[in-house]
Structure 1
Amino acid sequence: MVGASIANFTEIRGYIKGRAVLGKSATEIFKDVVDIYGKGWMSYRTVCRWAKKFASGRVSIENDTKTGRKVSISTKLAEARIQELLLEDARYTVRELAKLTGVSSSTVHFILKKQLKVRKITARWIPHLLTVEQKRSRVQCARKILKMAQKIEKNNFPDLVMGDETWIYFENYEPHRKISNKVWATKAAKRPCIAKRTMSVRKMLYAIFFTARGLAIQVPVPKGRGITGKFYRDVVLKKLDKYFGKIQPKSGMRHIKLLHDNAPVHKAAIVTDFLSGKHVTVLQHPPYSPDLSRCDFFLFPRLKKILAGRKYSKRPSVGSAIYQCLISIPTKDYIRAFQMWLKRLKI
């Protein structure tokens, strides 16, 4: 209805313009407007005003753009004060800023949106804020790895292997991302409920390693056990040694470059002794830097996305499903994961 009113007013002004150009008087034009459009659409004074404008040479039939209220000196002072307060603490609310500056909440809102052009966003949650020393360690690790980057990347990362541990559920019914829980609903509809996983839900711990060629090994941890230094050396790393023994029989695991995180199991003396005895180069992983782990940012999310919606009743079935999922990932995606890792190191 509002749109129709605006259209009629524009149409009437167009009619007034045409009649005014022909030299018709405002009285004649008003009479014609009433005859054509009916009473109440436009007053006699308004017709006179528009007729005078068009007779004076006005071309546009649209209303003039309103400039709005001029910014007063007090508003400018409030703007400067608000800017100072936000530099001190960007978490102030509109009400708090209004109280501190002595202006109304609407004025504060106007200054924030129109003058300062700022918006309020929620801070991103991260597990840890790195200390200066940890940041320095991250930079040093990145520089060391990037020095050998050209040799590593030259032949599509032939000697680089990454690995970590992850939990795999028997029933993968929960969406893999929180945004997947959103649904379209009316105002009267009830919010849907999703059960949170509990410790009693059946799951298996897997150690998975991959190279640029694809999946290297997947090792299930026996039921009721965790990964210890002895298990990691005697089962996981020895299986990885057999894998490289088949891939490159002459050198085997010798001189490969291994990247795993700083878990205590990975740093155990028996593990480091085994790797040094095999002449494996362990790439340093900076503390609290999960973004540099391609397992957490490529392999595991990809695996759990594929497994979403599937249910298994036996442990061998889970292992078979993991294997099928990981070998289905194209080789180019594994190579790209390593390329993205190097790119992340440069940031």
Structure 2
Amino acid sequence: MNEQTIASIKKDIDEGPHISVREKSNTNGISYGTVHTTIIEHIRMKKVRARWIPHLLTVDQKRERVRSATKFLNTCMFEPHGPHRLFDIVTGDETWFTFFIIPPKRLNRMWVDGQETDPSCCVQDFKAERECLRYSSIAEARL
């Protein structure tokens, strides 16, 4: 294994960490095993998949959620007819259909340095275009 081949493989991975061993071996005419061995043993990288997590909320977003919920509960409990106001809440079941198609796990694989942790990707973008189908019902007031 010469230094030029190692440098070429390293450069390709730096330019596109999602490149597969097969793609690299086909473009340079190097065998699959040689490319794989070079990446693992000489360049010391590993192939990982991104983990899907439901939300990537910032600290400010978390604080805003707590503030809004606390304000809502205080409003319901301490205004005139407060506890009964909880029965005026419209409830429903929602289903969101996004226009963004989440790529399969095999497309989320990438080469990273041996010491790096696995990357994460958010399941859904807050600003993604989407449609909502909603079923709602209104609770009857109870006295």
| TM-score bucket of the superposed structures, by smaller chain | 0.3 to 0.5
Q: Which has the higher contact order (CA 8 A, sep 6+)?
A: 2
Structure 1 or 2: larger helix share?
A: 1
Structure 1 or 2: larger strand share?
A: 2
- If the length of structure 2 is used for normalisation, what is the TM-score? 0.40
- If the length of structure 1 is used for normalisation, what is the TM-score? 0.19
Larger CA Rg, structure 1 vs 2: 1
